[in-house]
Structure 1
Amino acid sequence: MKDAHSNRVLLLSLLIGFIVVSLFVLGVRTLVPPDEGRYAEMAREMFASGDWITTRLNGIKYFEKPPLQTWMNALSFTLFGVGDWQARLWTGLCGIIGVLLTGYAGARVYGPRVGLYAALVLGSSFYWVACSQINSLDMGLSGMMTIALCALLVAQRDSATPTEQRNWMLLCWAGMALAVLSKGLIGLVLPGGVLVFYTLAARDWQIWTRLHLGKGLLLFFAIAAPWFVLVGLQNPEQPHFFFIHEHFDRFLLKEHKREAAWWIFLALLAAGCVPWLGVLVQSLLQSLRRTPGAAQERFRPGLLLLVWVVFIIAFFTKSSSKLPGYILPVFPAVALMIAHYLETASRRSRSVNAALLVLLGAAFLGFVPFMLRLAKRAGEDLLYQQYQPWVLAAGIVALAGGVLALVFDRRLQRDRAVIALALGGFFATHLILAGFEPIGQARAGVGMVPAIRAEIMPTSTIYAVGLYEQSLTFYLGRPVVLVDYLDEFSFGLQQQPALAIPTVDAFVVQWRAHAAAGVRDIAITRDDIVAQLKKDGVPVRIVAADARRIVIANF
């Protein structure tokens, strides 16, 4: 067989298949709350209002994050209409761009085979594939940080010409600026911290003279600063909340209740790099060593990649706020290290890795009969029953990919073995995601949308009493009036208290008044609140209900 990295037909087939599948499946699932519904609704409101400066959620000022993802989603809605795949298009593109850039950087820094392997590894890693299909900020941030990482690697490699070094470093600065617009100062802090620790570890003091600091900083601020200036001028309360509360307080304080065990990110790294877990440790260790015959090399890409992974994991481990998505930016670096290791790995190492995927596939098959035990609410057992065939198929695909890789390894067909593992991981992950749809629909509450729309009129008010339904609001296509609910709206409602009703008692007064005037209103609430309303003699008619929420009318 011709070497895979030089087989243009194979490369083009893999590329087209990867892009087509990745884009096609963006629309096969409902937007699952909270994150997917939240960021879709923010973009829908931006699209509807035409205000691209002040970000809002449910009509209330919402300054927890910068606007890049909201901009991109609103642009997607403008170009293609409002819908599920449009809301995921930006994250899907970021996932694809990350894979292509990682492959390109691997080819330029290590060679064409490593470049192919790097793209295959990242494009099939469970966590990267899954997050590229979820409308959240983590993939947007990771895509921009991948631009910064890969541009830095290509710019600093020993064979780079002065022109290449300048142009790629400017792209690196642009990537950091876009990362800041994606999720805040960590877009600069994380790459900056990596560079500092790499300098100390490699004793490469001269790297600071190769960063094009002057031009880079000008480009960085030209991209990142304008929105912060404009939003601060229009909303003077935004800078303190965003820079102090959302950065320093979130990192140092536990008020957000997002603590987790110190080892959580190590566990996520292990699970997230499947089907390459069997070579993870060896790849990390190899990055500590210099490339054979390169004792005089100025730049040590493997060490930079290792510092990138260790620093980001350590940074968020130290943080009081720990969410699973925080670790996502490390996976392009991990993919490059694994790809570099796979190029020279022994057949035994590759076979052990393939055997782990076989075991994982078998574990999925063995887990299927017990899936109904995951049901926590009434009726969810039927949803998990619908999910079982998909998990079964994922297990079969993973098992088949592992077995094929073992067969190819025995025949010393390394490229085919790597491709088999990548295809097994890629398709198994997509099957797991696609099959989640019945459960996602239940969590989002989309089954209630027709009943609600049939009841409301142009003069109707929709209330959310004691809760806020992130996805349901998006599918209804209109904000709701919050009642007795603050949570992430606390800061915004301090600025705009008239946009919510503080207590259930105050809500009841308005609810009764509208009923007496013949104005049809709807409320989305909990069963315990409905029981109390009935007990108090409040006019209530149940429009729709499920295990998570109840929709009532005042007429």
Structure 2
Amino acid sequence: MYNMHIKKNKTQKIIIILIFFYYLIPLNYRDLWQPDETRYAEISREMLEKHNWSIPHLLDVRYFEKPIFGYWVNNISQLIFGKNNFSVRFGSTFFTILSAIFLFYFVQSLWNNKNISYNAVIIFLSNLLVYIIGTYSVLDAILSFWINVSMIFFWMAIKSSVKKNRIFYYLIFGISCGTGLITKGFIALVIPFLSIVIWLKFNPKYTKTILIHSFIPLISSILISFPWIYNILSKEQDYARYFIFIEHIQRFLGDNAQHKFPIWYYVPVLIIGIFPWFGLLFKSLYRSWISRKFDKISFYLLVWIIVQFLFFSFSKGKLPTYILPCFFPISILIAKNIFSTKLKNNLILLKINSTTNIIFGCMILFSISIIYCIPKIYPYSLYSYQEYKKFILFVVSILIWISINVWVKLFAIKIWQWTAMSIFGIAILFGFYVPERIVYSKQPQVFLNEIKDDLKKSELIIANNIGVATTIAWEMNRSDIMIIDNKGELEYGLSYLNELNNKFVTKKNFKNWLNKNKNKSVALIFLISSKSSLNELTPYLPVPQYTVEHGRFILFKY
């Protein structure tokens, strides 16, 4: 029996509204990060400019690393909100909130208890990793939504006793798989398929009905994805080879896969990402395991978590964003566990969670303060002494985290949902306290604003970093930015160009190239890793008219 005494839905709704605010408010005033956000911003800008909604291009070069649906989302967002940072990120936020809405109605369909439903939403939206990805322009929030929907409607299909409803649920299951496929590829099919197959090993009685109805999701997924797949393959015959073998097989199994990390990589990612609910995680997972024989839905959610966690742990290429769909079922299990535990035990567990958050906040505060005040301890201090205002804002955001959890633990444990406000300070203030050393390496918009006049007067603009080049293109509304020395993620697309010299130049040939364009105004922007790397470049560069340098960015004007 659910016997947790809490304030009713009014408090929960207020918290959810506040969460929506701290999702939406920072979207526009935070500068875009390279390479991810500037890439997706520019691809969609070029699609809209050229009225080409089927073949992605980046800097006028074929870009086949991802399918199309995520770009469509960004296209629509830019059409509605205009060309700004808000529109670039809104797609991720929209689909994160959409996941929360589906979560609410899914939990309601399971237990018909609004307390569990509202609290599952609160826990989900306030997970640190969910928030970060939900306010950052990548495809993972969109992909996660389709995986979530797939898993929801599969469960509803096998549990429905009404034939018409069952067919409808299988249809939505297939549509979500197909849309996920054209969002980020086969992973949208692999995760649900593996999760379902493994769950069926423990619940074989459902196998027959699933096989009987399997043609419904199969056909619906093909119908939803086929038009674009046919279109792209009819125009770009090599797309399938590149996308399947390079972007899937090589990334998962190849020794040269991007972002290689050890097998335990996702353990700390999950631990940090689940804050401020870490203190409730393991008890919820454990209860789901020990009740697996009679609590089918909890075990289904547990399998969903484990399959994805292990799948990406064994993948050669890893990024924190990959395990985002794990947080949907985790949030449900945590909310359910709170309401299925005795009141006394629950209060103890919630106090442990608050204590964990207080310790976590104090550790961060102590570490950053020591590094700032005694820089010799750690040579790469985030903040210089001149950035004391940013350091103070950082401290304030962590103090908000600590204070809320102290208040919840001592005075408001029965309205523990306010723990979700732990990340409020980080959410609102983060954009104002990003260290300058990070701003002038990962957020090119700031530097580009400083050299805006130089860029406007330049007939030719060249950059040695794709993220910087795409930011220039986004800011200047021009896609003719050239690349010097480092092809990066455009290597495949550049191999198609018949006149490569119009897009790419090596540093060894730069002097000759500049001599051929001596009557034109040229801006050369470098993102350097260190002073020594700049010294290595000097022999290849003619003496510029002048330079502008800030952090790791440097402009050479010719």
Kept after mapping to 1: 8 A contact 2:400/2:425: yes
Distance in 2 between the 1:110 and 1:312 partners?
25
Kept after mapping to 2: 8 A contact 1:449/1:476: no
1:319 to 291, 315, 322: 315
Identify the residue that residue 148 of structure 1 maps to in structure 2: 150
Identify the residue that residue 141 of structure 2 maps to in structure 1: 139
How many residues get paired? 539
What is the Cα deviation at residue 408 of structure 1?
Answer: 5.2
SS in structure 1 at match of 2:555: strand
Does 2:359 align with 1:359? yes
What is the Cα deviation at residue 427 of structure 1?
Answer: 1.2
Identify the residue that residue 496 of structure 1 maps to in structure 2: 497
What is the Cα deviation at residue 208 of structure 1?
Answer: 4.5
SS in structure 1 at match of 2:471: helix
Distance in 2 between the 1:493 and 1:514 partners?
21
Kept after mapping to 2: 8 A contact 1:501/1:507: no
What is the Cα deviation at residue 192 of structure 1?
Answer: 0.5
Kept after mapping to 2: 8 A contact 1:465/1:524: yes
Distance in 2 between the 1:146 and 1:242 partners?
24
Distance in 2 between the 1:180 and 1:77 partners?
23
What is the Cα deviation at residue 428 of structure 1?
Answer: 4.2
Distance in 2 between the 1:401 and 1:451 partners?
39
Identify the residue that residue 406 of structure 2 maps to in structure 1: 403
What is the Cα deviation at residue 459 of structure 1?
Answer: 7.0
TM-score computed with the length of structure 1 as normaliser: 0.89
- Of stretches 64-73 and 447-456 in structure 1, the one that deviates more from structure 2 is 447-456
Identify the residue that residue 421 of structure 1 maps to in structure 2: 419
Distance in 2 between the 1:5 and 1:206 partners?
43
In structure 2, give the amino acid aligned to 1:283. S
SS in structure 1 at match of 2:70: helix
1:187-226 to 2 correspondence within 5 Å?
A: 187-206=188-207, 208-209=209-210, 212-226=213-227
What is the Cα deviation at residue 23 of structure 1?
Answer: 1.6
What is the Cα deviation at residue 539 of structure 1?
Answer: 4.2
Does 2:511 align with 1:508? yes
Kept after mapping to 1: 8 A contact 2:34/2:467: no
Distance in 2 between the 1:184 and 1:285 partners?
32
What is the Cα deviation at residue 474 of structure 1?
Answer: 2.4
Does 2:338 align with 1:335? no
Kept after mapping to 2: 8 A contact 1:544/1:550: yes
Identify the residue that residue 460 of structure 1 maps to in structure 2: 459
CA displacement, residues 406-464 of structure 1 (integer Å, 9 cap, x when unaligned): 23576xx2xx12x121222x414414633444546422222332454312457701012
What is the Cα deviation at residue 513 of structure 1?
Answer: 2.6
Distance in 2 between the 1:16 and 1:127 partners?
19
Q: Which runs of 5+ in 2 are unaligned?
A: none
SS in structure 2 at match of 1:495: coil
- Of stretches 231-240 and 347-356 in structure 1, the one that deviates more from structure 2 is 347-356
Kept after mapping to 2: 8 A contact 1:463/1:523: yes
2:556 to 547, 552, 555: 552
Distance in 1 between the 2:179 and 2:339 partners?
33
1:472-491 to 2 correspondence within 5 Å?
A: 472-479=472-479, 480-491=481-492
Kept after mapping to 2: 8 A contact 1:368/1:391: no
Does 2:415 align with 1:444? no
Q: 1:71 to 1:285 in 2, by over 3 A?
A: same
Distance in 2 between the 1:277 and 1:173 partners?
34
Identify the residue that residue 396 of structure 2 maps to in structure 1: 393
2:300 to 304, 311, 333: 304
Kept after mapping to 1: 8 A contact 2:68/2:183: yes
- Share of identical aligned residues, percent? 20
Distance in 2 between the 1:537 and 1:176 partners?
51
What is the Cα deviation at residue 533 of structure 1?
Answer: 6.8
Identify the residue that residue 369 of structure 1 maps to in structure 2: 369
Distance in 1 between the 2:353 and 2:383 partners?
35
SS in structure 2 at match of 1:482: strand
What is the Cα deviation at residue 190 of structure 1?
Answer: 0.7
What is the Cα deviation at residue 28 of structure 1?
Answer: 2.2
Distance in 2 between the 1:399 and 1:528 partners?
42
In structure 2, give the amino acid aligned to 1:509. N
Kept after mapping to 2: 8 A contact 1:279/1:338: yes
What is the Cα deviation at residue 235 of structure 1?
Answer: 0.9
Distance in 2 between the 1:179 and 1:150 partners?
14
Kept after mapping to 2: 8 A contact 1:378/1:547: no
What is the Cα deviation at residue 4 of structure 1?
Answer: 5.8
Q: 1:149 to 1:435 in 2, by over 3 A?
A: farther
Kept after mapping to 1: 8 A contact 2:463/2:483: yes
What is the Cα deviation at residue 90 of structure 1?
Answer: 0.2
What is the Cα deviation at residue 89 of structure 1?
Answer: 0.5
Identify the residue that residue 540 of structure 1 maps to in structure 2: 544
What is the Cα deviation at residue 85 of structure 1?
Answer: 0.7
SS in structure 2 at match of 1:504: coil
In structure 1, give the amino acid aligned to 2:461. I
CA displacement, residues 337-392 of structure 1 (integer Å, 9 cap, x when unaligned): 11111112322222211211122232233234235359977995258644322332
1:72-151 to 2 correspondence within 5 Å?
A: 72-112=73-113, 113-151=115-153
Identify the residue that residue 13 of structure 1 maps to in structure 2: 14
SS in structure 1 at match of 2:94: helix
- Of stretches 53-62 and 523-532 in structure 1, the one that deviates more from structure 2 is 523-532
Distance in 1 between the 2:380 and 2:80 partners?
39
Kept after mapping to 1: 8 A contact 2:149/2:176: yes
Q: 1:476 to 1:101 in 2, by over 3 A?
A: same
Kept after mapping to 2: 8 A contact 1:533/1:540: no
Q: 1:214 to 1:533 in 2, by over 3 A?
A: closer
What is the Cα deviation at residue 315 of structure 1?
Answer: 0.7
Identify the residue that residue 36 of structure 1 maps to in structure 2: 37
In structure 2, give the amino acid aligned to 1:38. R
Q: 1:378 to 1:168 in 2, by over 3 A?
A: same
What is the Cα deviation at residue 223 of structure 1?
Answer: 1.4
What is the Cα deviation at residue 214 of structure 1?
Answer: 2.4
Kept after mapping to 2: 8 A contact 1:456/1:520: no
Kept after mapping to 2: 8 A contact 1:379/1:547: no
In structure 2, give the amino acid aligned to 1:302. S
In structure 2, give the amino acid aligned to 1:464. A
Kept after mapping to 1: 8 A contact 2:170/2:216: no
What is the Cα deviation at residue 110 of structure 1?
Answer: 2.9
SS in structure 1 at match of 2:318: coil
Q: 1:165 to 1:489 in 2, by over 3 A?
A: same
Kept after mapping to 2: 8 A contact 1:199/1:207: no
Q: 1:436 to 1:184 in 2, by over 3 A?
A: farther
SS in structure 2 at match of 1:288: helix
Distance in 2 between the 1:402 and 1:409 partners?
9
CA displacement, residues 296-342 of structure 1 (integer Å, 9 cap, x when unaligned): x7xx1111111111111111111111111111111001111111111
What is the Cα deviation at residue 398 of structure 1?
Answer: 1.8
SS in structure 1 at match of 2:353: helix
